[in-house]
Amino acid sequence: RLKRARMHVERAIKEKKIFMVQGPYPIIRSLLRARGWVERKFPRASRQMEQHHGCQKQLQEEEEEGDGADQGEAVPSLGTSESPWPPEEEEEEQWEEDPDGIHKFMSHLVRDQVPYFIWTNRCNAVDYRRLQQDQVVNHYIGASAFTTKERLCLSLQNLPWCDQADPNTFFPRCYRLGSADEQQAFIEDFHLTAARSLLKVALERAEGAVMGMEQPSKPVEGSGLGSPLLPQLVEEALRLCGQHLGSLGHQDIDGDTLSPGMTGTNWHRFLQDYYRVVHEGAVLALTGAQRDQCRALLQHMAGWLPQLSMEGHSNIWILKPGAKSRGRGITCTARLEEVLQVAKTCTASMSWVVQKYVERPLLVFGTKFDIRQWFLVTDWNPLTVWFYRESYLRFCSQPFSLRHLDPARHLCNVSIQKRYRPARSRHPQLPPDQIWSCKQLQAHLAQVGQPGAWHQVMEPGMKAAVVGSLCSARELVKPRKSSFELYGADFIFGEDCQPWLLEINASPTMAPSSAVTKRLCASVQRDILRLIIDHRLDPTCPTGAFELIYKEAVVPQPLFMGQKLMVKGCSLRKP
């Protein structure tokens, strides 16, 4: 056996079939070994470097629980292993399926060989400066420009400068609370959303009264407006929304440049009355003329605001740490003062973003879900994107409700939902392991009368969002011809099946948590090898479930001529 192993190693070295894997990826290991590749043990130097930076505990959590979206840009050395035979018991999980020690023996034989395929669960585990041109690595430098919540928010703000696309059509409004300008923009957005929400609530209650539906009748004390609240509150909301609509249509270009939040309206009083109406059920008086004005104004605003239908009328926002994964630290709130209190904690090492919550999501049996959609980038110049046709849903354990903003109802992450037991009133057709495949969703949509929603709205919308997000960050990612990277995009769907991008994860988890993910995680890893290894040698070979959705023309890199292009001027004064 040892002689055959030596011959196998010699052949692998000659054919450049040496690979390294860091992290719990047994499928990648077994598939490469079945192709005749030999594994070289990942160098201890990288592990020590991570321990030096205090990353070991976090790395272990990512390996156990899932996505590794918290990335740094440090690049420790990818040195050679100098350990004696037998090697030290450092990463025994690599050899669990090696009872006779053959793989461990072959790994020792190639300890000084160059690995030509490197798969790691962290971008900073490889020194890219020392890589040879033909060494394949599963990460790009700079991909954190769109794989952290804060930098994705920033990149998509610049999308209109990079591409003819509007991020508001697929990415809920998002603000970085550490930026003073964006914090002020969020406050104005919160105010205007409250005004729109008040009009929606007033119109819904008025139309419900006409149809004979029971209306809330909670008395209001100390509002200064009496009980019920007088029509002046609706009149203020109509005026504010009319001003905003005029600014959207540039009708105020020659008028006062002050924003609606600076017109003298007592926002604190307005918000308190809004809270009483929307969250406490106070009665709101509405005249017939105001009802017609509300309806007409909201219809006009729908043409300018693509997020009007999904934002609901509770003005709920979701607070997220700027660079954490697996739902850690995420909370929902409907109060402006709570967001501003969190904003005070922003530091250089701890950032926060606030994003509009999708209040009217597509539900399955009254339960919220999101979808994990994989895609693969094989080049950044030209940008080449492959979309995986299989995906999976993650359900919440409790029924959806805007009256309760607890994580069990609103955060679909597996690492969050495993802390909660399913509700007793849970629909029997919902999966006990909280996971569905996208094909199961398609079957459910067909049963509820929407058979074409997936192929006509959902999948095309997700593809457009993925391409738009990558185009917004392509100038920030360093291209490398022999690299590739798999990403996991999380989407939620509105009631109209329109997809809304929540975040993009680097190193999406390949650890199965259900029968569905066990099958899909194995198939996506198998298809990655088909695409990265086989397709590069033979472009006509099948690529599994990967579909090429975008490939732009090659952008030539301009040569630096060393010329100074800075122009200095001086101000002109009136004589």
Same-domain check for residues 387 and 511: yes
Structure tokens at 94: 């690599």
Handedness of CA 146, 395, 325, 46 (dihedral sign): negative
Same-domain check for residues 389 and 510: yes
Instruction: Note the pLDDT tens digit of each residue in 266-287.
Output: 888 899 999 999 888 888 777 8
**Cβ contacts of 91 within 8 Å, gap of 6 or more:** 41, 42
Interstrand relation of 352-356 and 174-176 (parallel, antiparallel or unpaired): antiparallel
> How does 82-121 read in b/e, with b if 16+ C-beta sit within 10 Å?
eeeeebeeeeeebbeebeeeebbbbbbbbeebebbbbbbb
Interstrand relation of 369-380 and 352-356 (parallel, antiparallel or unpaired): unpaired
Last residue of a domain, one of 339, 357, 375: 357
Same-domain check for residues 342 and 194: yes
Same-domain check for residues 418 and 486: yes
Task: Report, as an integer, the average pLDDT of 566-575.
Answer: 84
Task: Report, as an integer, the average pLDDT of 157-171.
Answer: 91
Task: Report, as an integer, the average pLDDT of 107-133.
Answer: 90
Residues 213/311, Cβ–Cβ less than 8 Å: no
Residue 51: inside a domain = no
Instruction: Tell me how far apart the alpha carbons of residues 361 and 368 are, in angstroms, rounded to a whole number.
Output: 7
pLDDT of residue 65: 42
Residue 564: inside a domain = no
Residue 561: inside a domain = no
Supply the pTM of this predicted model: 0.85
Is the pLDDT assigned to residue 119 strictly greater than 90?
yes
Instruction: Tell me how far apart the alpha carbons of residues 398 and 251 are, in angstroms, rounded to a whole number.
Output: 46
pLDDT of residue 19: 96
Structure tokens at 375: 């895609």
Residue 91: inside a domain = no
Is the pLDDT assigned to residue 180 strictly greater than 50?
yes
Instruction: Tell me how far apart the alpha carbons of residues 460 and 170 are, in angstroms, rounded to a whole number.
Output: 11
Give the chain's length: 575
Same-domain check for residues 156 and 182: no
pLDDT of residue 288: 84
Is the pLDDT assigned to residue 95 strictly greater than 90?
no
Same-domain check for residues 345 and 405: no
Residue 214: inside a domain = no
Residues 468/460, Cβ–Cβ less than 8 Å: no
| Structural domain boundaries, residue 285 | 173-209+231-249+266-357
Same-domain check for residues 502 and 374: yes
* Residue 128, φ and ψ in degrees, nearest 5: -70, -20
Same-domain check for residues 389 and 332: no
Pick from 462, 193, 401, 155: nearest CA to 307:
193
Is the pLDDT assigned to residue 265 strictly greater than 90?
no
Instruction: Note the pLDDT tens digit of each residue in 454-481.
Output: 999 999 999 999 999 999 999 999 999 9
Give the single-character DSSP code of 512: -
Residue 274: inside a domain = yes
Structure tokens at 128: 């890219």
Whether the link from the prior residue into 87 is cis, omega within 30° of 0, is no
Task: Report, as an integer, the average pLDDT of 388-398.
Answer: 96
**CATH number, position 164:** 3.30.470.20
Same-domain check for residues 442 and 473: yes
Residues 357/334, Cβ–Cβ less than 8 Å: no
Give the single-character DSSP code of 224: S
Structure tokens at 26: 């047994």
Residue 532: inside a domain = yes
Same-domain check for residues 287 and 345: yes
Q: Count the domains in the chain.
A: 3
Residue 381: inside a domain = yes
Residues 486/524, Cβ–Cβ less than 8 Å: yes
pLDDT of residue 516: 96
Same-domain check for residues 182 and 278: yes
pLDDT of residue 557: 67
Is the pLDDT assigned to residue 261 strictly greater than 50?
no
Same-domain check for residues 198 and 308: yes
Higher pLDDT among residues 574 and 219, named by residue? 574
